[in-house]
Structure 1
Amino acid sequence: MLLALHKSTIVDNPPKIVITGSKSESNRLLLLQALYPELKIQNVSNSDDSEVMQEALKSTSNLIDISHAGTAMRFLTAFFATQEGREVVITGSARMKERPIQVLVETLKTLGADISYLETEGCPPLKINGKLLSKEKVSLKANVSSQYISALLLIAPKLKNGLELTLEGEITSVPYINMTLNLLNQIGVKTSFENNKIKINPLANLGAQQRDLTVESDWSSVSYFYSIVALSAVGTKITLSSYKKASLQGDSVLSEIYTDFGVETKFGDHTITLLKKSECQLKTMTCDLKNAPDIAQTIAATCFGLGIGCYLTGLHTLKIKETDRLVALKTELEKLGATVSITENSLSLEPNQVFSSESKDFTTQGLGEVIATYHDHRMAMAFAPLGLKTNLQIEDAMVVSKSYPTFWEDLKSVGFKITK
């Protein structure tokens, strides 16, 4: 579906936005619930990815199709490898069949797993013969996707001897690893993370006090509202729930990063209020996002909308997401007049005056440029706030359901003018 965003202004006193549970936390807890059925989870994400996880974990079929859900592919590969006596084929979309998974597969094989590739070597689809994994020591390069690491950590308590995982080199996305360890701790699993070594003790069953957990709302999803407030007039504010200051999610660093854009974050009773306190004084934003790469697209679009430059690093994992996000960002920003350069792990955006009063007025050009989304939910949502500056069209707009199904309705509620 192609949606048109007409140049908009945020309404006064917009309604509170309620964002569903974190996809990252939900998918980890759903896998743990499959291993420990006595676990009860509240506020599970309503995202496509979490629904795919739930369906796959409940399925009795020997064919599991996870479509575009990368987290599900990684977590379920580890899960099914431990399901003794069960044989499954796990597959996905055409793009999923291009996304590498060899690092995780080979590590699981080291532990004793029986996994083979059915098409391209190193990529899905996979044939998995579940078995008892008796080995407990393994090493893994530390700069790989943290989802590989978390997949191993999540199955570790059910391994006979637990797991001792040595990470080689500089570790990427530490907050996501810590999130996994914290959730394991909450259900009673003993863990340690010292230097580059992680140890997980085995746990047969949950204690009575560790059986109920509530998922915090998704910080990645709130990033788009940070961008909206940053691109709005001083005094604009939006309240969202349900959030807490002591978050497990790496993307909660947004509350610090967006202060440089003039946005203040006020924490209330399970809510946050974003307030545009002042105009942005930056010329160029410099930020290392190795621990929060999912917010790179949002930050780049914010900087472009504000007319400032940015230099974002720590982005090497973006090349293996739903699309090559660095190439996609460069292509789509340049449609709007940006000057962008990328490397294997960085993006540079030059300061611009595209939306200044002296510049070419995009709003006179009909419905505006068509932004391609490449089957990537974050491309659609990261570019949407630019509807405060110009007319835009978002291609395949409903791709947002992957992580945030009510995104467009929530944008309308705060003042965005959107038509089909």
Structure 2
Amino acid sequence: MLFTLHKSTLLETLPNIVITGSKSESNRLLLLQALYPELKIENVSNSDDSEVMQKALASTSNLIDVSHAGTAMRFLTAFFATQEGREIVITGSTRMKERPIQVLVEALNALGADISYLENEGCPPLQIKGKSLTNDKVTLKANVSSQYISALLLIAPKLKNGLELTLEGEITSVPYINMTLNLLNQIGVKTTFENNIITVHPLEKLNQQQQVLTVESDWSSVSYFYSIVALSPVGTKINLSYYKKDSLQGDSVLASIYTDFGVITTFNENSITLLKATESQLRSIDCQLQNAPDIAQTIAVTCFGLGLSCHLTGLHTLKIKETDRLVALKTELEKLGARVDITNEALQLYASAQIKDSVSIATYHDHRMAMAFAPLALKTNLHIEDAMVVSKSYPAFWDDLKSIGFKISE
């Protein structure tokens, strides 16, 4: 479905926006709930990815299809590897069958799992024969996707001897690893993370006081409102719930990064207020995003909309997302009139004074492409192809944009 976003101006009085629970936190807790059924979760994400997780974990079928949900593919591979006596095939979309999973499969097999490839070596679909995993030591390269690491950590407390995971080299996306460990700690699992070695102790069952957890709202989703405020006149203010200052989510670094765009974040009791306090005083933005790669698209589009240049690094994991996000960003920004250079881990956007009108943005089955480009409707008319792809992480996105003044037609 193609949406046309007509050049818009925000309403003078903006409503409070309530954003669904973090997809990252929700999917981790859903897996832990499957391992510890006494766990209760509040404010679970209503994203497609979290719904895929819930349906797969509740399914009795021997065929699990996760479609485009990469997090679900990785977490569920680890989960089903531990389900003794159960045999399943896990598959996904055409793109999912191209996304590598060999690092995780090899690690699980080293722990004693029985996982094999049904089509291309190193990629889904996988055949998994659930077993009791008795080995407790494994080593991974530290620069792999943090989801591989988190998948192993989440099943670790249910392994007979727990897990000692050694990471070799410089670690990617440390906040996401810390999020996983923090959630494990909240349900009573003892962990340590020292000198690139993570230890997770076994836990048979939860204590009474650790049986209810509330998911914080999603920081990746709020990034688009940071972009909207940055692209708006000085004085624009918007309130969003439910957020906290001591967030577990790596993308909470937005609050710091967007000060370069003149956007100030105020933390309230359970919400944040974004205020466009000044115009950006910089002509170029430089960000190392190794720990928060999912906000790269948002930042690049914000810079383009403001006529700024930017140099974004630490983006090597974007090559294996729903699409190759670096190539997709370059292609779509250049349609709008930008000049962009990319490498395997970086993006350089050059300042551009003009934005082409009524350009059609391809989304490549990638929710973040649709949402990252939408704020440009404050500057120009544009079309978003396959617009409902946003349901993967933020089903109410277009409705929320309409509520603050965006003019959108199908």
TM-score by length of 1: 0.97
SS at structure 1 position matched to 2:257: helix
Q: What corresponds to 1:374 in structure 2?
A: 364
For 1:169 and 1:34, the matched residues in 2 are separated by 32
Number of equivalenced pairs: 410
Displacement after TM superposition at 1:352 (Å): 1.1
Q: How does 1:59-78 map to 2 (within 5 A)?
A: 59-78=59-78
SS at structure 2 position matched to 1:121: coil
SS at structure 2 position matched to 1:404: coil
Displacement after TM superposition at 1:144 (Å): 0.3
- Give, as a single letter, the amino acid of the residue that structure 2 aligns with 1:260: D
Q: What corresponds to 2:390 in structure 1?
A: 400
Unaligned runs of 5+ in 2: none
Q: What corresponds to 1:358 in structure 2?
A: none
SS at structure 2 position matched to 1:105: helix
Displacement after TM superposition at 1:281 (Å): 1.4
SS at structure 1 position matched to 2:116: strand
Unaligned runs of 5+ in 1: 356-361
SS at structure 2 position matched to 1:199: strand
- Give, as a single letter, the amino acid of the residue that structure 2 aligns with 1:306: L
SS at structure 2 position matched to 1:179: helix
- Give, as a single letter, the amino acid of the residue that structure 1 aligns with 2:18: V
Q: What corresponds to 1:144 in structure 2?
A: 144
- Give, as a single letter, the amino acid of the residue that structure 2 aligns with 1:185: N
Displacement after TM superposition at 1:325 (Å): 0.1
For 1:5 and 1:269, the matched residues in 2 are separated by 34
- Give, as a single letter, the amino acid of the residue that structure 2 aligns with 1:341: D
Q: What corresponds to 2:251 in structure 1?
A: 251
Q: What corresponds to 1:328 in structure 2?
A: 328
Displacement after TM superposition at 1:226 (Å): 0.1
- Give, as a single letter, the amino acid of the residue that structure 1 aligns with 2:125: P
For 1:238 and 1:387, the matched residues in 2 are separated by 17
Displacement after TM superposition at 1:61 (Å): 0.2
For 1:184 and 1:13, the matched residues in 2 are separated by 41
SS at structure 1 position matched to 2:353: coil
Q: What corresponds to 1:207 in structure 2?
A: 207
Does residue 147 of structure 2 align to residue 157 of structure 1? no
SS at structure 2 position matched to 1:44: coil
For 1:89 and 1:48, the matched residues in 2 are separated by 20
Displacement after TM superposition at 1:24 (Å): 0.1
Q: What corresponds to 2:234 in structure 1?
A: 234
SS at structure 1 position matched to 2:115: strand
For 1:275 and 1:159, the matched residues in 2 are separated by 47
TM-score by length of 2: 1.00
Q: What corresponds to 1:337 in structure 2?
A: 337
Displacement after TM superposition at 1:12 (Å): 1.0
Does residue 181 of structure 2 align to residue 181 of structure 1? yes
Q: What corresponds to 1:272 in structure 2?
A: 272
Moved over 4 A (4+): none
For 1:12 and 1:91, the matched residues in 2 are separated by 47
Q: How does 1:111-150 map to 2 (within 5 A)?
A: 111-150=111-150
- Give, as a single letter, the amino acid of the residue that structure 1 aligns with 2:385: E
For 2:285 and 2:193, the matched residues in 1 are separated by 32
Q: How does 1:335-374 map to 2 (within 5 A)?
A: 335-355=335-355, 362-363=356-357, 368-374=358-364
SS at structure 2 position matched to 1:260: helix
For 1:386 and 1:280, the matched residues in 2 are separated by 17
SS at structure 2 position matched to 1:213: strand
- Give, as a single letter, the amino acid of the residue that structure 1 aligns with 2:371: M
- Give, as a single letter, the amino acid of the residue that structure 2 aligns with 1:165: L
Q: What corresponds to 2:109 in structure 1?
A: 109
For 1:103 and 1:267, the matched residues in 2 are separated by 39
Does residue 222 of structure 2 align to residue 222 of structure 1? yes
- Give, as a single letter, the amino acid of the residue that structure 1 aligns with 2:184: L
Displacement after TM superposition at 1:232 (Å): 0.3
Q: Percent identity?
A: 79
SS at structure 2 position matched to 1:5: strand
For 1:238 and 1:338, the matched residues in 2 are separated by 29
Displacement after TM superposition at 1:195 (Å): 1.4
SS at structure 2 position matched to 1:299: helix
SS at structure 1 position matched to 2:287: strand
CA offsets, 1:145-182, max 9 Å, x none?
00000000000000000000000000000000000000
SS at structure 1 position matched to 2:183: helix
- Give, as a single letter, the amino acid of the residue that structure 1 aligns with 2:204: A
CA offsets, 1:69-121, max 9 Å, x none?
00000000000000000000000000000000000000000000000000000
- Give, as a single letter, the amino acid of the residue that structure 2 aligns with 1:9: T
For 2:138 and 2:119, the matched residues in 1 are separated by 26
Displacement after TM superposition at 1:354 (Å): 1.0
Displacement after TM superposition at 1:282 (Å): 1.0
For 2:220 and 2:13, the matched residues in 1 are separated by 23
Q: Could you tell me which of 377, 390, 401 is aligned with 1:387?
A: 377
Q: How does 1:89-108 map to 2 (within 5 A)?
A: 89-108=89-108
CA offsets, 1:274-319, max 9 Å, x none?
0000001111100000000000000000000000000000000000
Q: Could you tell me which of 402, 405, 410 is aligned with 2:400?
A: 410
For 1:299 and 1:255, the matched residues in 2 are separated by 12
